[in-house]
Amino acid sequence: MPVRPRRLRLLVASLCAFLATAASACTTSSPPATPGGRDTTQITLATAEEPDTLNPLLGYAPSGAAKIFDGLLEHGADGALHPALATEVPQPSADDRSWTVPLRTGVKFSDGTPFGAADVVATYRAVLDPATASPLRPRYDMLTSVDEVNATTVRFNLAYPYPAFPNLLVLGILPARALGQPGPLTASPINTHPIGTGPYQLTEWQRGVRMVLSANPTYFDGPPAVRKVTVLFGGDDATRASRTLAGDIDGAPVAPAQTRDLPRSGGYLLATHNSAEYRTVSMPGRNPVTADPAVRLALNQAVNRRAMVDGTLAGKGEPASTPIPSTMPEFVEPGATFGYDRAQAGRTLDAAGWVPGPDGIRARGGTPARFTLLTPSGDAVALALAQQFAADARAVGVDVRVDQVDRDNLRARVNQDAALLTGGNAFDPDLQAYRLLHSSASPGVAATGEPVDPGSYADARVDAALDAGRREIDPAQRAADYRAFQRAYLANPGMVFLVFQQHTYALRNDWTGYQEVADAAEQGITWGPWWNLEKWEPKR
C-alpha cells in the first residue's frame, strides 16, 4: 500500500529525530513561506457564524467536516461517503434494519486516550437519551439502539429500513467518559473544551472575537500541514471581503453581490460552491392571513424569483419552488416550479374572497391581508430577499412589513410571524425535506437552527410521499417518491421557497488541496473551501 504524504512526513520526522540523537545529523527547517514572507503553515479565516457550542450532540457540524472531531464516515468532494473512523462504508443487513460498522484501531483522542467501540456506543446513546436533551434526537428517530459487538465493531439497529442512514454516521464521536454524567448536555465541559479524534484541537476561544485551532499531533492520518487555524468572528460581508483583499486574513465568505467587484487575480481565488441552502418565507398556521392556503399559493405565484437571483444573488443561485435542489438531480421533478404570474396570483386571491381596498390592500371578513416578516439581523442577503418579497406581495394587494430581529427573537416568534428562514442538507432529500414539511414535526426552529415545519403545515399527499421516500430501498422508486412529493407540494404549498443560494468565498491562493464541494447550509469553520483543510499543503 503506498504511503500517504502525511504519513511520509511523520516517517521522515521520526527518522530525523533518531539520527539527531545518534549523530546530530538532522537540522530543523524553517516553516514554508511565500515570496512575501507569509508563514503558510498558518491560516487566518473570518466568518460571521460563531458556533454556540462545539458539542456535536448539540448541533455542531451536523454534516461533518468538524475539524476537531471525526465521524465514522465523511463526505468527499464527490458527495459520496468515505470511511473516517470506520474502516469501510457499511452495508445494511438482509432486512435493511441494521448496519454493522467496523472501526479503525490505533486511533487516539486529542487527550491521548484510545478510541474504541464504547465511545461510538456512548455517543449515539446520548443522542437517543431524553435526559441529555440533544436537539439531534428527532433526526435519529429511526434508530432504536446501538450495540458494541466487540472492541472494534458496532451495530446500529433501526425501527424501519432507512437508506439514508449512512449520512447520519458523519456525527462527531465523543469519548465515552465525557458522557458519563446524566443530565442535559448544555452543562457539559465538552461544549467549550472539546476532546475529539479530529485533525485539529482547540487551543483558544475568545467568545465573539476568535477561535484558534492547532494541529493534532496524534491524528491517525498524520498532523495537518496547515498547523494553526485562526478564525475571526464578526464584521459584515464588506468588512470581511476588504480585509481579505488587504491581506489581513486569508479567506472568508463574501456576499454574492460583492463578487462583481472582487479581483480575479492578485493571488486570490474567488470560489463559488453550489449549495443545498434554501431561502424560504414561512407561512405560520396560527396567523389568519398566512394560514390561508389561497394566500400561500398566491404569494408563490406573485414572487419574481429570477429577479432575486439576478439581483440580490448577482446570479449566484437559482430559483426555488420546493426544497429539492439541483445538487440532487436524480430527485428533482423538473415541472415542479411556480411561474411568475401576478395576474394569476390576483385571481387566486379574488377567488378566495380577498378583496382589494381603496389603498390597494386586500381584506376578507374585516381582516386585512397584512403580516410581519422577520429576518435575522446581520444577514444582508436575507434582508434584501425579504424586501423584494414584500414588494412583490404588495403588487398583488398583500402588505408585508419586514422586521429585523436577533435569532433568539426570531425563534421565539416563528410560529406567529412569517420569517425568512434558511436551511439545507446537500446529501439526501430526506434530511432536506422531511422535518421541514412533514406534519409529524413539532413546528418551530430547532436549537440547531434547522427550520422544522414552521408553518404547522399538513398535507396527506405530501406526508405519504415523504414517508415512502424515507423508507424506500430501491433507488429508482425512491427518486419517484420524491418527485411525487414535489408535485403534491406544488398543489398545496406550505411556504414560499425563494432561491437556492450558491456560496461565494475569497481565498488567498497559497495552498494546494482546495476542492470544490456542494455545501451544506452551514459554513463557519466547517464547510466552505476549508471543508478539507487538513489535506491542504503550502505551496513552495
**195-251: pLDDT as tens digits:** 999 999 999 999 999 999 999 999 999 999 999 999 999 877 778 877 877 788 999
- 22 grid coordinates: 545518534
Going from the C-alpha of 98 to that of each of 144, 156, 217, 267, 429, the distances in angstroms are 10, 5, 35, 50, 21
| 337 and 475 share one domain | yes
Q: What is the mean pLDDT of residues 457-477?
A: 98
> Is 435 a residue whose pLDDT tops 90?
yes
DSSP string, 382-429: HHHHHHHHHHHHHTTT-EEEEEEE-HHHHHHHTTTSEEEEEE--SS-H
pLDDT at 1: 37
For residue 511, what are the domain limits?
31-50+207-272+505-540
pLDDT at 34: 59
| 327 and 360 share one domain | yes
pLDDT tens track for 340-398: 999 999 999 999 999 999 999 999 999 999 999 999 998 889 999 999 999 999 999 99
Lowest mean pLDDT among 102-106, 194-198, 212-216, 267-271: 267-271
By the 8 A CB rule, do 6 and 216 touch?
no
Domain boundary residue among 172, 198, 224? 198
pLDDT at 7: 37
> Is 26 a residue whose pLDDT tops 80?
no
> Is 481 a residue whose pLDDT tops 50?
yes
Q: Cβ–Cβ contacts within 10 Å for residue 318, how many?
A: 16
Give the separation between CA 302 and CA 295, rounded to whole angstroms.
10
| 73 and 167 share one domain | yes
* Amino acid residing at 184: P
φ and ψ at residue 202, rounded to 5 degrees:
-75, 130
| 46 and 187 share one domain | no
Spell out a b/e string for 401-435, using b for 16 or more CB atoms within 10 Å of the CB, else e: ebbbbeeeebbebbbebbbbbbbbbbbbbbbbbbb
| 238 and 292 share one domain | no
9 within some domain: no
| 441 and 528 share one domain | no
Give the separation between CA 203 and CA 223, rounded to whole angstroms.
15
| 528 and 414 share one domain | no
Mean of the per-residue pLDDT values for the chain?
Answer: 91
- 77 grid coordinates: 468532494
pLDDT at 16: 36
DSSP string, 283-337: --TTSTTTT-HHHHHHHHHH--HHHHHHTTTTT-EEE-SSS--TTSGGG--TT--
Residue ranges of alpha helices (H) inside 67-178 are: 117-128
DSSP string, 1-13: -PPPHHHHHHHHH
Q: What is the mean pLDDT of residues 443-466?
A: 88
Q: What is the DSSP letter of 263?
A: -
> Is 134 a residue whose pLDDT tops 50?
yes
Give the separation between CA 181 and CA 148, rounded to whole angstroms.
20
Q: What is the mean pLDDT of residues 47-54?
A: 90
6 within some domain: no
Q: Cβ–Cβ contacts within 10 Å for residue 202, how many?
A: 18
- Cα-based angle 294, 416, 446 (whole degrees, multiple of 5): 110
Q: Is 129 helix (H, G, I), strand (E, B) or coil?
A: coil
The CATH number covering residue 81 comes to 3.90.76.10
| 60 and 118 share one domain | yes
Give the separation between CA 61 and CA 521, rounded to whole angstroms.
11
pLDDT at 540: 72
Most distant CA pair in the chain: distance in Å? 94
pLDDT at 31: 60
Terminal CA-CA length for the chain:
27
- Interacting residues of 517 by C-beta distance below 8 A, sequence separation 6+: 75, 77, 79, 273, 527, 531, 532
Q: What is the mean pLDDT of residues 128-134?
A: 95
Domain count, the chain: 3
The CATH number covering residue 363 comes to 3.10.105.10
| 335 and 471 share one domain | yes
Q: Which of 442, 507, 438 lies closest to 469 in space, CA to CA?
A: 438
| 376 and 469 share one domain | yes
DSSP string, 230-243: EEEE---HHHHHHH
The full length of the chain comes to: 540
Q: Which of 275, 368, 288, 363 lies closest to 327 in space, CA to CA?
A: 275
132 within some domain: yes
pLDDT at 48: 83
> Is 22 a residue whose pLDDT tops 50?
no
> Is 4 a residue whose pLDDT tops 80?
no
> Is 260 a residue whose pLDDT tops 80?
no
By the 8 A CB rule, do 405 and 419 touch?
no
79 within some domain: yes
Give the separation between CA 417 and CA 407, rounded to whole angstroms.
13
- 266 grid coordinates: 492578485
Whole-model pTM? Answer: 0.90
